[in-house]
């Protein structure tokens, strides 16, 4: 059900880490990227920031079970960080910058905490990513009167990223993956849709959401019945930048 490659793993490989770098990840989610670094023997300090406190529980349990070197997980906003200037060798940000209210302010804050010789890895989706997902969001707008769907990839995408990045960094590497999601049952796709419900403005009621969810579920099931699976086109990638101080 997933694209064949994992952008997180490919991105980390492109960084050519020695294992001693001090790394900060903005919007680290459940901490999986940092946990994988530790499991693969990374010795440098690892710090992960997330705005949602509850998401760290499993990461903490994994550290304890596997007896890994500690990872510092903290709660906060990625555009206002409690670190001195030049604190980190690397900053990582996977699929999260388009959630930030001020992209330039956030990039400047990451530049500030990055050492002059530091590297910055940022992953994002293309404006053309998941066209069917976009169509479903439009359908929701049509069914639920007055609901505005989140158009996150408008704000920061593969197509406009370099315009932002070049103001503060030197882009030294870029990678784009194009493929297809193929699923044989609707739930992974519906869960991805559920994850953006709160971002609609105004937020649809559970009753409204149930109604549109069932319509979309029926469409996905129809395609699965006809073709054996439901597909959507995927286009995403990352940029690796060097600091320019």
CATH classification at residue 170 = 3.40.50.150
Residue 176 domain flag: yes
Residue 79 domain flag: yes
Give me the residues of the chain with pLDDT under 50, please. Answer: 1-2
Residue 152 domain flag: yes
CA distance linking residue 29 with residue 73, whole number of Å: 10
pLDDT of residue 45: 98
Q: Which residues are registered as beta bridge partners of 25?
A: 48, 92
pLDDT of residue 150: 64
Residue 72 domain flag: yes
Residue 137 domain flag: yes
Number of domains in the chain: 1
pLDDT of residue 203: 86
pLDDT of residue 64: 72
pLDDT of residue 114: 98
The token duo for 59 is 């990461």
Residue 1 domain flag: no
pTM: 0.86
Burial 136-174 (b: 16+ CB within 10 A, else e): bbeebeeebeebebbebbebbbbeebeebbeebbeeeee
Please give the residue range of the domain that contains residue 52. Answer: 7-243
CA distance linking residue 182 with residue 132, whole number of Å: 12
Residue 237 domain flag: yes
pLDDT of residue 104: 96
CA distance linking residue 171 with residue 241, whole number of Å: 4
pLDDT in tens, 101-120: 899 999 999 999 999 999 99
pLDDT of residue 224: 96
Residue 2 domain flag: no
Share of the chain above pLDDT 90, in %: 65
Q: Which ranges of 114-186 would DSSP assign to H, the alpha helix?
A: 131-143, 152-155, 161-165
pLDDT in tens, 127-159: 888 888 888 888 888 888 777 876 655 689 999
pLDDT of residue 55: 74
């Amino acid at each position: 059900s997933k694209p064949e490659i994992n952008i997180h793993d490919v991105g980390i490989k492109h960084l050519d880490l020695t294992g001693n770098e001090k790394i900060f990840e903005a919007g680290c989610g459940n901490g999986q990227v940092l946990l994988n670094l530790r499991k693969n023997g990374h010795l440098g300090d690892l710090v992960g920031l997330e705005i949602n406190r509850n998401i760290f529980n499993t990461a903490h349990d994994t550290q304890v079970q596997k007896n890994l070197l500690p990872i510092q997980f903290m709660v906060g906003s990625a555009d206002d960080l409690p670190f001195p200037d030049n604190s980190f060798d690397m900053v990582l940000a996977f699929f999260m910058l388009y959630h930030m209210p001020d992209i330039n302010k956030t990039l400047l804050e990451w530049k500030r905490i990055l050492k002059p010789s530091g590297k910055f890895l940022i992953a994002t989706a293309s404006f053309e990513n998941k066209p069917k997902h976009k169509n479903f969001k439009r359908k929701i707008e049509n069914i639920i009167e007055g609901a505005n769907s989140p158009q996150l990839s408008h704000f920061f995408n593969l197509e406009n990223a370099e315009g932002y990045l070049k103001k503060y960094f030197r882009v030294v590497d870029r990678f784009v993956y194009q493929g297809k999601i193929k699923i044989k049952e609707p739930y992974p796709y519906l869960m991805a849709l559920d994850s953006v419900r709160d971002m609609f403005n105004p937020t649809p009621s559970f009753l409204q959401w149930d109604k549109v969810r069932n319509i979309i579920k029926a469409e996905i099931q129809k395609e699965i019945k006809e073709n054996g699976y439901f597909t959507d086109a995927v286009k995403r990638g990352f940029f690796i930048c060097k600091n320019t101080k």
